[in-house]
Structure formats: structure tokens, C-alpha cells
């Protein structure tokens, strides 16, 4: 598999490692981006536990809670200017209201039901608008709360056992937005993901020249740190670093977190890249 200079740049952005080392990693892994990231981590050069998605589109993540249900939805447009406008925001609110009040299962259902309103909003805004994704929690015997950060750049919906204090649950939602947990509890981490992490940590220890007899204990200790990175209840509370989220919950009613969803606006979407060289050459050609 071949790779380009852009691939090298992408790997550098994802890992923070120097250009030459990124190029060596891609060469060693035949251009496979995921394997190159693992290669750099095994060498102790990259510390990221998972790939960082590129924030590449405009729009907002929006939350709504009513009628014993909560909704988190992402809608995209082409510019930040439109995303901040009332026409776009009103359209997004209408989409959220529709999801709250209807038994919808797929994004296609939501898109079809809101197509006429979308076309009208496009005509007013002059930009492409896309309803990208949503999550809906129905809270018959549970508590649901949401948190929106930076006017819609990040959104969280979280569900806990009945009776959970709303202020506490809101703090947990804020934690999820800030610390980017992937799971609630360590036992939720897929075994394949855990084994892969252990193999990487073993390779790191070997490359550090650690004696074989202590590597297992080192890996065990580092896995605990891994859990603190990816598991909500193991994380240090962002408002009080002297306690974990599990300790914070226990000290404030002992509610159990059931699940959560975190959307970061535009994650995984590729931003349009302007080819300035091509544009300049086309302008030069016109005046010849």
C-alpha cells in the first residue's frame, strides 16, 4: 500500500510525532494508517489511545429533553455564520421536536419526515443542510440529562438510575464532554480492544528495555491508567481532581450511570480542501 505526503501530515496531526518518524512508520506498515499509529505507540512515540477524528464540517449539536425523553441531534451546514443564524437553529429545534414526539429508529426516517422543512431552510440560508445523526433516550424509569458545550460544538446525553440528582447528572454530562470517555465501566471495554492495548503496552515496555519478569506487572499498572482514560467512572472528576466520578456519584446519592452518547460537531467528516494552486493556474490561463 502506497502513501502520500498528505498521509504523513495526517499521521503527524493524529499522533504529534515528527514528520520523519511518521514517514518511517508508514513505510514500515505499507501505508496502513491504523497500523502506523500502533507502530508509533509501540515505539513509545505516540501516546494517543485512539484515533482523533477530524472536525471538518460546520453546524451544531443540539439537545432537547421533554415528555420523559431526551434527544441529541447533529445537523450540518456549510458555514459557521449560517450555523449561528435563527433560520438554521429553528430548523434544528424542529428536527429535535419531531424526534422527541415520534417513534423513529433511523436517521433516514428523520430526514424524510423533515425534508420539506430542510428544503425551505436551504432556500433561506443559501447553503446545503444535512441532518447527520441523532440519539434518543426514553426515560420511563430512569433520569436523563444533556449538556451542550460552546454553543453546539459538543453535546452529551446521559442516562442514570431513577432518582439521580439532576445537578449531579449534569456534572457527569459535563465530565463526558470534557474528558471524552468511551465507556461507563471497565467491564464494557471489548475484550479485543483490551487485548490489543495490552499488546501495545507490552511492546512499549520491551522497547524501553524493561526486564521480562516485570513487564506483566507494568502492563497491569498501565491498563489501570488506560481505564482512567476511557472509562467514565474511573476518571478524575474535572471539578474536583481529588475524587473519581465513581466516588463523586457515591457521595451524592450513589446513582448508577446506565449509558451516554457524546457527539462532537463534524467529527469524522472531511472539510472541503481548496486547491489554491489549481485555482491560481486556472486564473492565469484565463488571462493568457
What CATH number is given to the structural domain containing 92? Answer: 3.30.479.20
Does 197 map to a domain? no
Mean pLDDT of 123-137: 91
pLDDT at 181: 96
pLDDT band at residue 281 under the 50/70/90 scheme: low
Q: How many Cα atoms are found within 13 Å in the side-chain-facing hemisphere of 136?
A: 20
* Domain end position, chosen among 14, 32, 52: 52
Q: Are residues 166 and 63 part of one domain?
A: yes
Residue 190 within a domain: no
Read off the pLDDT of each residue in 14-27 and give the average, rounded to a whole number. Answer: 82
Residue 80 belongs to some domain of the structure: yes
Do 23 and 64 lie in one domain? The reply is no
Give Cα 59 to chain centroid, integer Å: 15
- Same domain? For 148 and 91 the reply is yes
93 and 165 part of one domain: yes
Q: pLDDT digit string (tens) for 138-183?
A: 988 999 999 999 999 999 999 999 999 999 999 999 999 999 999 9
Q: Clarify whether residues 44 and 82 are in a common domain.
A: no
pLDDT in tens, 183-226: 999 999 999 999 999 899 989 888 888 887 888 888 888 999 99
In a domain, 205, yes or no: no
Spatial separation of the C-alpha atoms in residues 160 and 106, rounded to whole Å: 24
HSE-up (13 A, CA, CB side) for residue 254: 0
pLDDT at 254 > cutoff 60: yes
Query: How much of the chain, in percent, has pLDDT values that exceed 90?
Result: 59
CATH number for the domain spanning 31: value is 1.10.8.10
> What global pTM score does this model have?
0.74
In terms of domains, do 70 and 135 share one? Answer: yes
Give the 3-state secondary structure of residue 203. Answer: helix
Q: Pick from 52, 67, 90: which residue ends a domain?
A: 52
Which pLDDT score, from 0 to 100, does residue 275 have?
A: 47
pLDDT at position 47 over 90: no
In a domain, 40, yes or no: yes
Residue 248: inside a domain, yes or no? Answer: no
* Mean per-residue pLDDT, 240-254: 97
- The Cα–Cα gap between 205 and 183 comes to 26
**pLDDT, position 10:** 81
Distance CA 176, CA 143 (A): 16
- Compute the average pLDDT of residues 255-273: 85
Number of domains in the chain: 2
Q: Considering 142, 157, 173, which residue would you say is the last residue of a domain?
A: 173
- Contact between 169 and 157 (Cβ < 8 Å): no
Looking at the fold, whether 63 and 45 belong to one and the same domain comes out as: no
| Whether the predicted pLDDT of 273 surpasses 80 | no
Average pLDDT of the residues of the chain: 87
Strand 257-264 relative to strand 154-161: parallel, antiparallel, unpaired? Answer: antiparallel
Query: Is residue 276 over pLDDT 80?
Result: no
Residues 65 and 16 occupy one common structural domain: no
Residues 104, 67 share a domain? yes
- Count Cβ atoms below 10 Å from residue 27 Cβ, excluding itself: 13
The answer on 126 and 78 residing in a single domain is yes
CA dihedral 233, 234, 235, 240 (to 10 degrees): 80
**44: domain range?**
1-52
Amino acid at each position: 500500500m502506497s502513501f502520500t505526503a498528505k498521509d504523513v501530515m495526517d499521521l503527524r496531526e493524529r499522533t504529534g510525532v515528527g514528520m520523519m518518524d511518521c514517514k518511517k512508520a508508514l513505510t514500515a506498515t505499507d501505508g496502513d494508517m491504523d497500523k502506523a499509529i500502533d507502530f508509533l505507540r509501540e515505539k513509545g512515540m505516540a501516546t494517543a489511545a485512539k484515533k482523533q477524528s477530524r472536525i471538518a464540517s460546520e453546524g451544531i449539536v443540539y439537545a432537547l429533553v421533554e415528555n420523559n425523553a431526551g434527544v441529541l441531534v447533529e445537523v450540518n451546514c456549510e458555514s459557521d455564520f449560517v450555523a449561528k443564524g435563527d433560520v438554521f437553529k429553528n430548523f434544528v429545534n424542529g428536527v429535535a421536536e419531531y424526534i422527541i414526539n415520534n417513534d423513529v429508529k433511523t436517521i433516514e426516517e428523520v430526514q424524510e419526515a423533515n425534508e420539506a422543512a430542510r428544503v425551505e431552510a436551504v432556500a433561506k440560508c443559501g447553503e446545503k443542510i444535512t441532518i447527520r445523526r441523532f440519539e434518543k433516550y426514553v426515560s420511563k424509569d430512569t433520569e436523563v440529562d444533556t449538556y451542550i458545550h460552546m454553543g453546539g460544538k459538543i453535546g452529551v446525553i446521559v442516562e442514570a438510575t431513577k432518582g439521580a440528582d439532576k445537578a449531579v447528572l449534569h456534572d457527569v454530562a459535563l465530565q463526558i464532554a470534557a474528558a471524552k470517555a468511551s465507556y461507563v465501566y471497565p467491564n464494557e471495554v471489548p475484550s479485543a480492544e483490551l487485548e490489543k492495548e495490552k499488546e501495545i503496552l507490552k511492546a512499549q515496555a520491551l522497547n524501553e528495555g524493561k526486564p521480562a519478569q516485570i513487564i506483566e506487572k507494568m502492563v497491569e499498572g498501565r491498563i489501570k491508567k488506560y481505564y482512567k482514560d476511557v472509562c467514565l467512572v474511573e476518571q478524575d472528576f474535572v471539578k474536583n481532581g481529588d475524587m473519581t466520578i465513581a466516588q463523586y456519584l457515591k457521595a451524592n446519592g450513589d446513582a448508577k450511570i446506565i449509558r451516554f452518547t457524546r457527539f462532537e460537531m463534524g467529527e469524522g467528516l472531511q472539510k472541503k480542501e481548496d486547491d489554491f494552486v489549481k485555482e491560481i493556474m486556472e486564473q492565469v490561463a484565463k488571462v493568457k
